[in-house]
Amino acid sequence: MRKGMIKATDAFERIIHWGLAISCIVLIISGLGMMYHSFSFLSIPVGGLKNLKYVHNFTGLIFIVALLFSILMWWKEAGIFKFPEDVEWIKAAGGYLWHVDNVPEVGKYNPGQKIFFLAVALFGVVMAVSGLIMWFPLSLPVVWVRTMYFLHALGFFVITPFFFVHLYLGTIGSPGSASAMFSGWVTRAWAKKQHPKWLKEMEESGKLEVYGE
């Protein structure tokens, strides 16, 4: 690791992030295999649809735990919009869609990341609650259980595209971002470009961790 790298995430944050990401991928794949006959071939590696359902259900429990920790850990920074800087960033689309000379400075998470976080948090809770009721309907009215199937499918169609957009922007769309969730360290140039306000706040508070210093 090069001297001067800046610590953006700690080990626990990365564990929760990857727990959420990997469980989400497994849930998307297994969910497709159960929802659509044309994707039933996805059940072959695990020995059939019955086993695929077990994989889906128990992976869902991992997703729920990771989701709860994510909400508790990131809500303050990623779940609340700040005005007027976040509005100005949205007006400029963060410089992603067209050239912007001076992208408005925001905190550790930009409004795009906040929208993604809120979508996953809100619909993740919907998926978790509906999934548990579908798994354990108990003596609930049939109409309630059927509504859970609709809400579960709705959550799937909302979270899936957000997930892949996040994957793109965290890799190809924003070079240098991936290292924040692999090693936890990023370059100063990347931090200054992507999160200048956060970088300044961390430097002024003396909380910035710099490798080799």
Tell me the pLDDT band of 1, cut-offs 50, 70 and 90: low
Q: Mean pLDDT throughout 91-99?
A: 73
Tell me the pLDDT band of 52, cut-offs 50, 70 and 90: very high
Q: What percent of the chain has pLDDT over 90?
A: 51
Q: Say what the pTM is.
A: 0.88
Residue 96 in this model has a pLDDT that exceeds 80: no
Q: Which residue has the higher pLDDT, 82 or 41?
A: 41
Residue 213 in this model has a pLDDT that exceeds 70: no
Q: Mean pLDDT throughout 85-105?
A: 77
Report the mean per-residue pLDDT for the chain.
89
Q: Which residue has the higher pLDDT, 65 or 188?
A: 65
How far apart CA 104 and CA 94 sit, in angstroms, is 7
Ranges 75-79, 133-137, 168-172: which has the least confidence: 168-172
Q: What percent of the chain has pLDDT over 70?
A: 98
- Burial of 206 by CB count in 10 Å (0-12 exposed, 13-18 middle, 19+ buried)? exposed
**b (16+ CB within 10 A) / e for 26-52:** bbbebbbbbeeeeeeebbeebeebeeb
Question: pLDDT digits over 149-181, tens only?
Answer: 999 999 999 999 988 888 887 787 777 788 888
Ranges 22-31, 74-83, 87-96, 182-191: which has the least confidence: 87-96
Residue 94 in this model has a pLDDT that exceeds 80: no
Does domain 6-205 correspond to CATH entry 1.20.950.20?
yes
Residue 103 in this model has a pLDDT that exceeds 90: no
Count other Cβ atoms within 10 Å, centred on residue 212: 8
Angle between helices 11-35 and 49-78 (to 10 degrees): 140
Q: Which residue has the higher pLDDT, 22 or 213?
A: 22
Count CA atoms closer than 13 A to 176's CA, side-chain side. 13
186 within 8 A of 2, measured Cβ to Cβ: no
